[in-house]
Amino acid sequence: MSSLLHITNGDSLTDRLRSLNLKGDIITWREMLCEGKTLTTVGSESFWKTRFEFLNKNYKVSKSWFIEKTLKEYRSLCNHKQQDEIVLWFEYDLFCQINMLAVISWLKTHRKYAKISLVSCGKEDKTYKMYGFDELKNDYIMDLFEKRVELKQDDIEYADYVWQLYCSDNPIRLENLSDFDNYRFDYLSGAITAHLKRFPTIKNGLNELENHILELSVDKKPKSKKELLTTVISDQGLYGFGDTQIDRIITTLKPLYHSFNPVRLTKKGKEILEAQTSYYACIQDNDAYLGGALKYNYLYNTESNRILKL
């Protein structure tokens, strides 16, 4: 009888799997590598130091919290050396897919002989809605588990390669990937496209999601910042961001808001949204990283869907 180790995308899924009495131990991957600087060497001292500095600066994560929540789980992963099969539970969105790449990269180095399989969810229904694990019934989750996909060595190498590109200082190499269909990652192509659209657009210096937040602010006329937050979370496409992440993006856009109660843009905010002027004069965090690349060193051309280096 083979022994299993499950690696999940978050605490709620871990609790859910425990309630289903799945065989094997469960590790929760508590990171959000889709944000801030990342290094290729997942799990190294410099990797965790870089991550802590980002989370501490931008999310006020304390050292004790980071050690307790993230590093303890990582050390637990390091101590699980005997399992024959490692089952990865990650969803379709950017948040999950980037974490998945990092975990596979780590496994490639540290668990060379383990069988790695993937339980993924996201299949669209007739309304083109994608589903997360928390929206699925227990029997459906068990069905996904039974139908999990075993990754071949080629898949593992590919995930590691995409992770290296994500951590490089030049996103143009990521953009040139065109062979996603040859590997067992149904949602990776969409996630990488979403990632590339996080670089500022040529038209106004804001990226796709930032522009969308301004649009929702005008179109939906939210009565408060909280209402805006809820609206963005339910209408963010493939990003998969949580409350704190969306709140941080809205906060960076604060100079473009006249008020948040009700939500109203300034004259400048409206001009930027209408691409009459650019956001570049308002930028406060010039050293913002997306993976290994500096966000404001590149521009996204929405006409050609290509990245340009500044």
- Strand 257-260 relative to strand 149-150, pairing: unpaired
Residue 24 DSSP code: S
Closest by Cα among 153, 167, 146, 162 to 51: 167
Q: Report the pLDDT averaged over residues 153-170.
A: 98
- The pLDDT value given to residue 223: 97
pLDDT of residue 284 exceeding 80: no
- For residue 213, the surrounding DSSP H or E stretch is helix 208-219
> How many other C-beta atoms are found inside a 10 Å radius of the C-beta of residue 262?
14
- The pLDDT value given to residue 1: 58
- The pLDDT value given to residue 126: 67
- The pLDDT value given to residue 236: 94
Q: How far is CA 222 from CA 256, 265, 278, in A?
A: 15, 11, 24
Give per-residue pLDDT as tens, 106-156: 999 999 989 999 998 877 766 667 889 999 999 999 999 999 999 999 999
In this prediction, residue 103 has a pLDDT band, given cuts at 50, 70 and 90, of very high
- The pLDDT value given to residue 139: 93
- The pLDDT value given to residue 21: 85
Q: Report the pLDDT averaged over residues 10-17.
A: 96
pLDDT of residue 93 exceeding 80: yes
pTM of the model: 0.96
In this prediction, residue 232 has a pLDDT band, given cuts at 50, 70 and 90, of very high
User: Mean pLDDT across the chain, nearest whole number?
Assistant: 95
Beta-sheet strands, E only, within the chain: 4-8, 25-28, 36-37, 85-91, 115-121, 149-150, 257-260, 263-265, 289-291, 293-294, 298-301, 306-309
* Window from 56-60, 126-130, 266-270 with minimum mean pLDDT: 126-130
pLDDT of residue 292 exceeding 70: yes
- The pLDDT value given to residue 2: 72
pLDDT of residue 225 exceeding 70: yes
- The pLDDT value given to residue 127: 65
pLDDT of residue 171 exceeding 70: yes
- The pLDDT value given to residue 104: 98
- The pLDDT value given to residue 121: 85
* Window from 25-29, 59-63, 121-125 with minimum mean pLDDT: 121-125
- The pLDDT value given to residue 128: 66
Using CA of residue 163, residue 149, residue 48, residue 17, what is the dihedral sign?
positive
